[in-house]
Amino acid sequence: MGLTQALALGRAGFHVVVVDPAPAQTTLAPEFDGRASALAHASCKLLEAIGVWPLLAPDAEAIREIRVSDGDAPLYLHFDHTDVGDEPLGHMVENRHLRHALYAAVADVSAITLAAPDRIDRVERSEDGVKATLASGSRIAARLLIGAEGRRSPSREDAGIRTYEWTYDQCGIVTTVEHERPHHGIAHERFLPAGPFAILPLRGNRSSIVWTERRRLVPTIMNLSEAAFDAELAKRFGRFLGAVRSTGPRWQYPLSLQISESFVDNRLALVGDAAHGIHPIAGQGVNLGLKDVAALTEVLVDAARIGQDIGTPPVLERYQRWRRVDTLTLSVVTDGLNRLFSNDIMPVRQARDIGLAAVNRMAPLKRFFINHARGTVGRLPRLLQGQLP
């Protein structure tokens, strides 16, 4: 999220220094992160506005439909992009391609300085500004420090900002599969007793699998032979795409919910996972972070235009008010969905199935959910509309 925020601000005329303890060759290596991200339509608009999308589009796969089902129930919820327009609901991108595109775009913006590998050894935040000393000995003076370091954000911890969090008894297993038949740009999410099982379209006859499973079973699954692992996939996958086989390494990620008590402090703003981390059941984690980037950029640009100091409380509170309610709402919704659809008691399951079928028949409500999946509901920052602020 840090490079995206730097690009958004750099394109808007700010001078930005990105401090990253990891060398670029490490984060750009294929084995660094095996995940793929479901970018909502509005998120793609943001990437287009900051010059990343043209570099990323050749490796992105359009999401044209989403089908949500409750296990093997015959009824399902179907979202089709044609119900709201001609453009896709979003795109799937492998994170390795996204990182390459971000680094390439950053190299073209002279207002951005990349300090990597390096880290902040000491930082002083005062009424007058921010002074940081790096491990390399370099010193940086700025008006604002943006923490985008992820869930264990040193900037957040140094500021003493508390977090509310709990751990799910679930892990996400991620891998890539090849299948005989084309996916036609359809994303599938099946709710199983252990958690959601998502089949997400990638380029070619390939899909990204996000398999949520109980923690105690994950070590056994991770150590299965390829044939045994593929057999377990087939049990959950079905045969609608023909024969399926895993083609890449397997990664596992423990799942938890984490919300920062505040997204801002004296001359500090938090974005992305440094501010919040949610359950991946709705695939909105990255999009939530990109909303932070877009909102913070717009707030800072508007403040600078009228001569305000971008690191002062009145400016940063505008960002917090814009983003915190939306974040809390989505956190509660994703947590509730996970608890609801992981409950296999028959009356609860029957009620879920009836609910999915009912929403599928209510065109106005279904269009609302489709637009929510596209990221086009609510007050949108200009970047999410494809415009530089």
pLDDT score, position 283: 80
When pLDDT is averaged across residues 7-33 and rounded to a whole number, the result is: 90
Distance CA 108, CA 144 (A): 23
Nearest to 38 by CA among 65, 16, 20, 9: 65
Residue type, 348: V
Report the relative pairing of strands 206-214 and 244-246 from DSSP bridges. unpaired
pLDDT score, position 24: 84
Distance CA 319, CA 297 (A): 9
pLDDT score, position 286: 95
CA–chain centroid gap for 157, Å, is 22
Nearest to 10 by CA among 297, 323, 272, 286: 297
DSSP string, 62-96: EE-EEEEEETT-S-EEEEEGGGT-SS-SEEEEEHH
Instruction: Name all domains of the chain by residue range, CATH numbers in brackets.
Output: 2-63+83-164+259-341 (3.50.50.60)
**What confidence category does residue 254 fall into, taking pLDDT thresholds of 50, 70 and 90?**
very high
Distance CA 190, CA 250 (A): 20
Percent of the residues in the chain that have a pLDDT greater than 90, as a whole number: 78
* Contact residues for 180 (Cβ-Cβ < 8 A; gap 6+): 205, 241, 242, 243, 244
Q: How does pLDDT run across 282-296, given as a tens digit for each residue?
A: 788 899 999 999 999
Distance CA 106, CA 222 (A): 36
Percent of the residues in the chain that have a pLDDT greater than 70, as a whole number: 100
pLDDT score, position 138: 97
pLDDT score, position 349: 76
When pLDDT is averaged across residues 87-97 and rounded to a whole number, the result is: 96
Residues pairing with 122 in the sheet: 133
DSSP 112: E
- Kindly report the pTM of this predicted structure: 0.94
